[in-house]
Chain A
Amino acid sequence: MNTSNTASTAKVAESPEQTFLNISQVDMVFPTATGGFTALKEVDLQIKKGEFISLIGHSGCGKSTVLNIVAGLHIATTGGVLLKNKEVNEPGPERAVVFQNHSLLPWLTSYQNVELAVKQVFNKTMSKAEMKDWIEYNLKLVHMDHAMDKRPDEISGGMKQRVGIARALAMQPEVLLMDEPFGALDALTRAHMQDSLMEIQHELNNTVIMITHDVDEAVLLSDRIVMMTNGPEATIGEILDVNLERPRSRLALAKNVEYNRLRSEVLTFLYEKQRKVENISENKLVTKRAAKQQINS
């Protein structure tokens, strides 16, 4: 069976030596004017080192909230996150985030953007020359070494996202968190970026949690696809293991039977089992507004 529910994943938790990142029984309630809004209910997920996890679900299902809790930008109302058996209660560079809209500092060049992170993280352990090499290495990794001295407004959307990824990678994070990293890109650029990401993943074998809306992206990149039910009280609906051999090629996979089966499983989940009936945008607004208030307070 490739699908399993939350009850069966609890078995993994019994062998803690395998669990690298443990999202344990997380509930998230946002305070709103009309009382609490329960965004997440009993989200429970164990992740092994080096695993690539995709979070997929409809808008407003709380995917970003899960990611923000792992990042430490939100604190779960009940339950919590353990990274290497240590509780996560604030943001930190060991859980680097690639934000949806790149969030590069517009007044710094690509190099300086990565430098800010590197200086902060390796301040005590690296010499100046080592830092320079490390920054350049990471920019090369995402194929941005040719535009190191360009500012964000001088490069394209895809390039900005590459620099954002380089910045996150340069922190040498234990977990890389990506919030719809390619959501704002056009289809061709997105495909290109996915290939790049697979290449990097092959080289570095990071532990990654990625939020996506794109079914193909999820199947192509992930080891496991975590499908979330609709909010409020969103939780993990099904988890799909992706046992396709790596390296994966999108062209070869297009005709692969297993690939297409996985794809249709996700589609079935999203568009049959969790079909949206209520007004999507209203719901999303409430969560986003509540989340904003949380961060600001």
Chain B
Amino acid sequence: MSLSAVKINSSTITERLIKVAKNTLNKVTDMMLLPIVGITIFLFVWSITAQSIHTSLGEFPGPNAVVKQFSSLYDEHVIEREKAEAFYNRQEKRNAAKLAKNPDYVTKIRAYTGKETFLEQIITSLMTVTAGFIFAVIIAVPLGIWMGLSKRINSAFNPIVQIFKPVSPLAWLPLVTMVVSALYVSDDPMVSKSFITSMITVSLCSLWPMVINTSIGVSTINNDLLNVSKVLRLPTLRHIQKIVLPASIPMIFTGMRLSFGVAWMVLIAAEMLAQNPGLGKFVWDEFQNGSSSSLARIMAAVIVIGFIGFLLDRVMLQIQQKVSWDKSS
């Protein structure tokens, strides 16, 4: 009697274990195995087709060539760093020697002017896109709130938003370049003109999704919450701070994520034309360079651009979940 009970028990336990194992196996398959299979197929197709495309710069780079370029890009970075360090060392020694000869000598420190490496260009790009995006947020969120609060303001501005939204960055860029050249004049500029031009172009293109989402978020706030604010007679600023902003945060962040995606895409094009020393310029320079490894290096940049775009979106999602009260969005 008890023996059979034990038997049943142990059999149910093994059954359960099998179930758990199956579940985890399914999860692992979904999370890891299938993406790996997908990527493998992609790499396979890529390398097959690459072999059969012949360009004036040689064979189209397959995965192998691109991986090789990744390591050489890194090596170049290391070498360039060493050169820079050597340059500064020499400068320091020279200055010390001059000071020893003549104690009144005012030392001059010059910056190293070697070419930017791939890693430095990534950092430039990240800084440019962040600056442009923040500039866009500063304009778009207040404008969106204003439009959301008043139907009249919305009617007034909505046509402008709708017309400028689909404009390509390439159309803006010449205008921005000329305006920046005319207005941003200084003997000792803090940042380069190309940086400003790229940044503003990024802002101009990433503004609109944020404006639209913010204004929709604000105009669709639950009427009951607005009534609460009315009964409390909250002054306008407090009303915005305590009710409007938190209530529309989920929508605002959705707009921000869309905008950041747009900003990153626009940036590459802007950097190409504005010659801002970021990833866009890297791609352009490699294209102009036209060496046998150029295409592989561009392909490496494409992959990096994709990865960074993906990571930026994840970061925005994390921030959204931290800030927003609505955990479902």
Partner-binding segment picked from B11-19, B170-178, B223-231:
B223-231
Q: Which of A68-95 contact B (CB under 8 A)?
A: 71-73, 90-93, 95
Chain B hits for A103, CB < 8 A: 222, 224-225, 227-228
Q: Is the CB of A106 within 8 A of B231?
A: no
The answer to whether A99 has its CB under 8 Å from any CB of chain B is yes
Number of interface residues of B (CB under 8 A): 21
Chain B hits for A91, CB < 8 A: 227, 230-231, 233
Q: Is the CB of B233 within 8 A of A97?
A: no
Chain A hits for B232, CB < 8 A: 93, 116-117, 120-121, 171
Q: Mark contacts of A101-130 with chain B using CB atoms, 8 A cut-off: 1 yes-contact digit, 0 otherwise.
A: 101011100000000110011000000000
Q: Mark contacts of A124-152 with chain B using CB atoms, 8 A cut-off: 1 yes-contact digit, 0 otherwise.
A: 00000000000000000000000000010
CA distance A92 to B224 in the complex (A): 15
The answer to whether A295 has its CB under 8 Å from any CB of chain B is yes
Would you give the shortest CB distance from A81 to chain B, in whole angstroms? 15
The answer to whether B63 has its CB under 8 Å from any CB of chain A is no
Chain A hits for B105, CB < 8 A: none
Q: A91-B227, A99-B224 are in contact. Are A105 and B233 (CB under 8 A)?
A: no
Q: Is the CB of B227 within 8 A of A97?
A: yes
CA distance A99 to B225 in the complex (A): 10
Would you give the shortest CB distance from B288 to chain A, in whole angstroms? 52
Chain B hits for A73, CB < 8 A: 227, 230-231
Q: Which of B229-274 contact A (CB under 8 A)?
A: 230-234, 238, 242-243, 246-247, 249
Q: Interface residues of A toward B: which range?
A: 20 to 34
Q: A99-B224, A151-B325, A295-B223 are in contact. Are A105 and B230 (CB under 8 A)?
A: no
Q: Is the CB of A105 within 8 A of B228?
A: yes
Pick the residue among A105, A171, A296 that contacts B246 (CB under 8 A). Answer: A105
Pick the residue among A71, A101, A105, A296 that contacts B231 (CB under 8 A). Answer: A71
The answer to whether B326 has its CB under 8 Å from any CB of chain A is yes
CA distance A93 to B246 in the complex (A): 22
The answer to whether A289 has its CB under 8 Å from any CB of chain B is no
Would you give the shortest CB distance from A195 to chain B, in whole angstroms? 26
Query: With contacts defined as CB atoms under 8 Å apart, how many contacts are there between chain A and chain B in the complex?
Result: 58
Q: Is the CB of A105 within 8 A of B225?
A: yes
Chain A hits for B225, CB < 8 A: 103, 105
Chain B hits for A120, CB < 8 A: 232-234, 238
Would you give the shortest CB distance from A226 to chain B, in whole angstroms? 22
CA distance A191 to B41 in the complex (A): 65
Nearest A residue (CB) for B234: A120
Q: Is the CB of A106 within 8 A of B228?
A: no
Main secondary structure of the interface of B (DSSP, over half): helix
Would you give the shortest CB distance from A173 to chain B, in whole angstroms? 9
The answer to whether A248 has its CB under 8 Å from any CB of chain B is no
Q: Is the CB of A97 within 8 A of B231?
A: yes
Would you give the shortest CB distance from A90 to chain B, in whole angstroms? 8
Q: A91-B230, A93-B231, A93-B233 are in contact. Are A105 and B243 (CB under 8 A)?
A: yes
Q: Is the CB of A292 within 8 A of B325?
A: no
Would you give the shortest CB distance from A28 to chain B, in whole angstroms? 17
Would you give the shortest CB distance from A149 to chain B, in whole angstroms? 14
Nearest A residue (CB) for B233: A92
CA distance A164 to B222 in the complex (A): 16
CA distance A96 to B230 in the complex (A): 10
Would you give the shortest CB distance from A37 to chain B, in whole angstroms? 19
CA distance A91 to B229 in the complex (A): 9
Would you give the shortest CB distance from B215 to chain A, in whole angstroms? 15
Q: A103-B222, A292-B223 are in contact. Are A92 and B325 (CB under 8 A)?
A: no
Would you give the shortest CB distance from B217 to chain A, in whole angstroms? 14
Q: Which of B185-242 contact A (CB under 8 A)?
A: 222-228, 230-234, 238, 242
Would you give the shortest CB distance from A245 to chain B, in whole angstroms? 34
Q: A103-B222, A105-B246 are in contact. Are A92 and B231 (CB under 8 A)?
A: yes
Q: Mark contacts of A57-71 with chain B using CB atoms, 8 A cut-off: 1 yes-contact digit, 0 otherwise.
A: 000000000000001
CA distance A120 to B228 in the complex (A): 12
Nearest A residue (CB) for B219: A296
Q: Is the CB of A116 within 8 A of B242?
A: yes
Chain A hits for B222, CB < 8 A: 103
Q: A73-B227, A93-B233 are in contact. List 10 more A-B contacts (CB 8 A).
A: A90-B233, A93-B232, A95-B231, A97-B227, A103-B228, A105-B225, A105-B228, A106-B325, A107-B246, A117-B232
B-contacting residues of A (Cβ < 8 Å)?
71-73, 90-93, 95-97, 99, 101, 103, 105-107, 116-117, 120-121, 151, 171, 292, 295-296
A-contacting residues of B (Cβ < 8 Å)?
151, 222-228, 230-234, 238, 242-243, 246-247, 249, 325-326
A–B pairs, 20, beta carbons within 8 Å: A72-B230, A73-B231, A90-B230, A90-B233, A91-B233, A95-B231, A96-B231, A97-B227, A99-B228, A101-B224, A103-B225, A105-B242, A105-B246, A105-B247, A106-B326, A117-B232, A120-B234, A295-B223, A295-B227, A296-B151
Closest 4 CB pairs of A and B: A107-B325, A103-B224, A91-B230, A107-B246
